[in-house]
Amino acid sequence: MSAVVQIAAREPATLDLDAGPASRNGLAVLDLREASRLWRLCWTLSWLDIKLRYRGSVLGPFWLTLSTAVMVAAMGTLYAGLFKMDMRNYLPFLVLSLVLWGFLGSLVTEACLAYTSAEGMIRSVRMPYTLYAARIVLRNVMVLAHNMVVVIAVFAIFGTWPGAEALLAIGGFAIWLLDALALSVLLGALCARYRDIPPIVGSILQMAFFVTPIIWKPELAGPQRQWLLPFNPFFSLMDLVRAPLLGTLPTAMTLLSALLYSAALCGTAWWLFARVRGRIAYWV
């Protein structure tokens, strides 16, 4: 709490509603810097979110792991037969895709509530706004970490361990974390101002699940349609992490499109955050 008090003392007690671009960007940089200094508080709040979510549960967050394992077993048996694919090749792809998509889908959904869910804290304590966005990202990373147990188990059963290419997934995941923070800031601010955006985001996610290679492999699109896949931002960003963990490399087009999508997302998020940062407290 002393760290919070220090931030309140350091941060200027002025509104930036009518400040110029340079001043707004300076306050946004200050917000991000102060949030990075409070990484211990961010970790504590994220862990507390996990504990409160599964309070009174016997297995806690591992209920998600168990449900993922059951879903993979059921869907793998069904779709391997429908798509006429070998289980040894299909099941590792399916389990990895579902776990990574679960992380992305949960992150996008919770990003919409980044500020509105912290209404009490925002109105009572002066803390950097990017801390609330980082809290969303960190707690979803925690959930992803224990869901990866299912992926490791399937890889071990079928003996399909990735090679040295798996190291490239670290860079892809670093881009994911940067994009996740930018998305939480962007959607958090937009959804605080316009409360009808979260249902729209939910509908987009449902549609994206079916048009993105999650339960079906990219090869099934055929050579005539496969070139269209990089135009799907979900596919491009997904393949940054999924392809190396499956022992392959993303294509140059996929890599380029993913970097362009990430740059556009981060740039838009920064522009909006710097512009509306002073209004967030009035919107929640």
> Mind listing the pLDDT tens digit for each residue in 239-271?
999 999 988 888 889 999 999 999 999 999 999
Amino acid letter at 98?
Answer: L
**AA letter at 132:** Y
pLDDT of residue 59: 67
Confidence at residue 61, expressed as pLDDT on a 0 to 100 scale? 65
Domain encompassing residue 149 = 20-217+225-283
pLDDT category at 5 given cuts 50, 70, 90 is very low
pLDDT in tens, 111-137: 999 999 888 888 888 889 999 999 999
Question: Across residues 210-233, what is the average pLDDT?
Answer: 85
In the three-class reduction of DSSP (H, G, I as helix; E, B as strand; rest coil), residue 115 is classed as: coil
Query: Can you say whether the dihedral through the CA atoms of 184, 186, 188, 191 is positive or negative?
Result: negative
- E-strand ranges in 68-223 read none
Is residue 197, in this structure, part of any structural domain at all?
A: yes
- Alpha-carbon distance values, 172 to 17, 236, 242, 277 (Å): 36, 11, 9, 29
pLDDT, residue 10, reads 46
Q: What is the pLDDT of residues 159-201, one digit of tens each?
A: 888 888 889 899 999 999 999 999 999 999 999 999 889 999 9
Domain assignment present for residue 8? The answer is: no
Residue 150 lies in a domain: yes
Q: Is the pLDDT of residue 15 over 80?
A: no
Confidence of residue 76 (pLDDT cuts 50, 70, 90): confident
Token pair for 196: 């009808």
As a whole number, mean pLDDT of residues 65-76 equals 79
Residue 15 lies in a domain: no
Q: Rounded CA gap, 35 and 41, in Å?
A: 9
pLDDT confidence tier of residue 58, bands split at 50, 70 and 90: low
Quick check: is 270 in a domain? Answer: yes
Sequence-ordered list of residues with C-beta below 8 angstroms from that of 263, at least 6 positions apart, any chain: none
Q: Is residue 175 one of the residues assigned to a domain?
A: yes
Q: Would you say residue 59 lies in a domain? A: yes
Question: Has residue 2 got a pLDDT over 60?
Answer: no
- Domain total in the chain: 1
Q: Choose the most confident range, by mean pLDDT, from 53-57, 59-63, 214-218, 263-267.
A: 263-267
- Spatial separation of the C-alpha atoms in residues 146 and 141, rounded to whole Å: 9
Please give the DSSP secondary-structure letter assigned to residue 127.
-
111 within some domain: yes
CB 186 within 8 Å of CB 268? yes
Claim: this prediction has a pTM higher than 0.75: yes
The predicted model gives 15-35 an average pLDDT of: 75
Q: Which of 101, 79, 95, 103 is nearest to 232 (CA)?
A: 101
What single letter denotes the amino acid at residue 120? G
Residue 199 gets the label, from left (phi > 0), alpha (psi -120 to 50) or beta, of: alpha
